[in-house]
């Protein structure tokens, strides 16, 4: 059983919970996810099965798209609603659309972001959230991220009773981006405390939320002997790479981990997918030093 399941992760579950349940449903230990989703976030979580666990890191580095909401007027220590309220400021005059758009635009492109204290980033061998739970704030270095776009998807909502304003957004971002920190940084730009009040991941690893299956869907597929209904083959997961069809002689070279000359890929792409008899067998990466393609990921089993 080799391929990728585009899992719809429900709220209230950790990514590790999902892995544990899938191992039992699929009766295999070769299951790996492509980056975690917080328990209070739902949406697309690509799960790699069997040989596909070798591409987990590649899928993890692909861009991601989220939809969510930022509430202005309150801030929380965790940067989402799961934490403790630490500041509250009444918004007497809500922001206009052009003010919102201007601030969102400032948070796009190649920017630096400081990881939140409630995160799994390690400093001095300990995860930041471990320090945070002890009431400690640790100095941490900002890291480069890329925000392709950060935009409103519908008009904001102003609550007269709570004196808060909620902004609804969509963001396309690189691996390593903390969207809740983007929400906090947005608030700083407009001069109000803020918190990420809702978040759904709608795209990750090349898979869209419309392609996802729930844990119950997967269990039903297994019970009916129709796992292929929810398991995307390696050829689909690696569809973005140029493909070279191996002949018998070159397959013999690849099966022994040999190098191939650059003629296999006229576009001279950094990575090329190698198929033999309509089956994905390897990803090869161009080595500038030797001027040839060498093994990068092998799927020979």
Last residue of a domain, one of 203, 228, 251: 203
249 and 289 assigned to the same domain: yes
69 and 53 assigned to the same domain: no
- What is the CATH classification number for the domain harbouring 270? 2.30.130.10
81 and 148 assigned to the same domain: yes
- Counting Cβ atoms within 10 Å, is residue 228 exposed (0-12), middle (13-18) or buried (19+)? exposed
- What is the CATH classification number for the domain harbouring 107? 3.30.2350.10
Instruction: State how far the Cα of 230 lies from the Cα of 26, in Å rounded to an integer.
Output: 12
121 and 216 assigned to the same domain: no
216 and 108 assigned to the same domain: no
Q: Considering its fold, how many domains does the chain have in total? A: 3
Last residue of a domain, one of 154, 180, 203: 203
71 and 193 assigned to the same domain: yes
146 and 275 assigned to the same domain: no
Q: Is the pLDDT of residue 35 over 80?
A: no
What percent of the chain is predicted at pLDDT more than 70?
100
Q: Is the pLDDT of residue 118 over 80?
A: no
- Total-model pTM: 0.90
What is the pLDDT at residue 133? 84
Predicted confidence band at 301 (pLDDT cuts at 50, 70, 90)? low
90 and 197 assigned to the same domain: yes
Last residue of a domain, one of 236, 257, 290: 236
133 and 29 assigned to the same domain: no
Residue range of the domain that includes 33 = 3-62+205-236
Mean pLDDT of 213-225: 95
Mean pLDDT of 55-82: 92
174-212 tens-digit pLDDT: 988 999 999 999 999 999 999 999 999 999 998 999 999
- Counting Cβ atoms within 10 Å, is residue 96 exposed (0-12), middle (13-18) or buried (19+)? exposed
What percent of the chain is predicted at pLDDT more than 90?
75
Task: Compute the mean pLDDT over every residue in the chain, rounded to the nearest whole number.
Answer: 92
80 and 136 assigned to the same domain: yes
Catalytic residues: 38
182 and 156 assigned to the same domain: yes
198 and 105 assigned to the same domain: yes
Instruction: State how far the Cα of 17 lies from the Cα of 216, in Å rounded to an integer.
Output: 14
């Amino acid at each position: 059983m080799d391929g990728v399941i585009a899992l719809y992760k429900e709220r209230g579950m950790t990514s590790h919970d999902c892995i544990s349940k899938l191992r039992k449903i699929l009766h295999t230990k070769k299951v790996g996810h492509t980056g975690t989703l917080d328990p209070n976030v739902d949406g697309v979580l690509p799960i790699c099965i069997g040989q596909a666990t070798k591409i987990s890191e590649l899928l993890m580095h692909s861009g991601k798209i989220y939809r969510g909401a930022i509430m202005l007027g309150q801030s929380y220590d965790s940067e989402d609603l799961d934490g403790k309220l630490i500041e509250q400021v009444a918004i007497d005059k809500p922001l206009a659309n052009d003010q919102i758009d201007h601030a969102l635009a400032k948070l796009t492109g190649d920017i630096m972001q400081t990881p939140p204290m409630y995160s799994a980033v390690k400093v001095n061998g300990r995860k930041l959230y471990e320090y945070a739970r002890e009431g400690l704030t640790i100095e941490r270095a900002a890291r480069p991220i890329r925000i392709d776009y950060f935009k409103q998807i519908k008009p904001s909502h102003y609550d007269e009773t709570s004196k808060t304003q909620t902004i609804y957004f969509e963001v396309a971002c690189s691996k390593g981006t903390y969207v809740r920190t983007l929400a906090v940084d947005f608030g700083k730009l407009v001069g109000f405390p803020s918190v990420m009040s809702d978040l759904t991941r709608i795209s990750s690893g090349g898979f869209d939320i419309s392609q996802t299956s729930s844990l119950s869907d997967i269990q039903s597929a297994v019970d009916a002997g129709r796992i292929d209904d929810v398991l995307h083959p390696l050829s689909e997961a690696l569809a973005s790479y140029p493909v070279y069809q191996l002949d018998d002689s070159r397959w013999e070279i690849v099966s022994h981990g040999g190098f191939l000359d650059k003629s296999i890929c006229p576009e001279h792409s950094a990575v090329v997918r190698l198929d033999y008899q309509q089956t994905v067998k390897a990803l090869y990466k161009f080595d500038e030093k030797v001027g040839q393609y060498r093994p990068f990921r092998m799927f020979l089993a």
